[in-house]
Amino acid sequence: MTNDLSSLCPICGEGHLQPRIGRSPVEYKGQTSEVEFHSSVCDACESEQLDAAQLRANKRAMVAFKKQVDGLLSGAEVRALREKLGLSQADAAKVFGGGPVAFSKYESDDVAQSEAMDKLLRLAAEIPAAFEVLTHRVDDGSVATSMEWEEVRGWSVEISSESSTKRPQLRVVSSSTSVGEPHWSNAA
């Protein structure tokens, strides 16, 4: 409705704001295009005004255009990918990082995901084993997955029978991943 009080023009106080969607030329990294431009025009004084929702819509259109130029997944593509993986937005943030509202922002084009996040999402979608590793890290809440621990243990057994020159390197790995497994470097 355009004749209620909320659409009364705050500039002339007589006309009413009529929302409209036009096109606005944009340019990013040498590429030009047109995106939707949301605004309202007073039917009396003809002044053009933007409310918060229109400003947000225009910003999203620009972010979407930048994502396209940068070769990043669109907001809709991020949503489809997340749903394909069976994750809520909150769970997706736990698995991939970015903060609790990250996926809401990616999917509504409020912000562009980083190139690193974009690659991680594509990797998880294409390689089930990669996605499994990421979800496992969330499940047990630790830095190292159980799969990694098996590798570390196997490696230590193998190396302990060889020369002692590799032991310092072994200790570095241990201190960076282990809190509660102090005995493994002695495994034989």
* Positions in the binding site for Zn ion (CB under 5 A): 9, 11-12, 15, 42, 44-45
Which CB atom, from 13 or from 154, has the smaller least distance to Zn ion? Answer: 13
Q: Is 78 exposed, middle or buried (0-12, 13-18, 19+ CB in 10 A)?
A: buried
Least distance (Å) between residue 14 CB and Zn ion: 6
Least distance (Å) between residue 13 CB and Zn ion: 7
Q: CA dihedral in degrees (103, 110, 69, 125; nearest 10)?
A: 10
Is 101 in a helix, a strand, or coil?
coil
Which CB atom, from 44 or from 159, has the smaller least distance to Zn ion? Answer: 44
Least distance (Å) between residue 2 CB and Zn ion: 13
Taking the C-alpha atoms of residue 8 and residue 11, their distance in angstroms, rounded to an integer, is 9
Which CB atom, from 12 or from 76, has the smaller least distance to Zn ion? Answer: 12
Which CB atom, from 42 or from 61, has the smaller least distance to Zn ion? Answer: 42
Least distance (Å) between residue 118 CB and Zn ion: 44
Strands 31-42 and 17-28: what pairing?
Answer: antiparallel
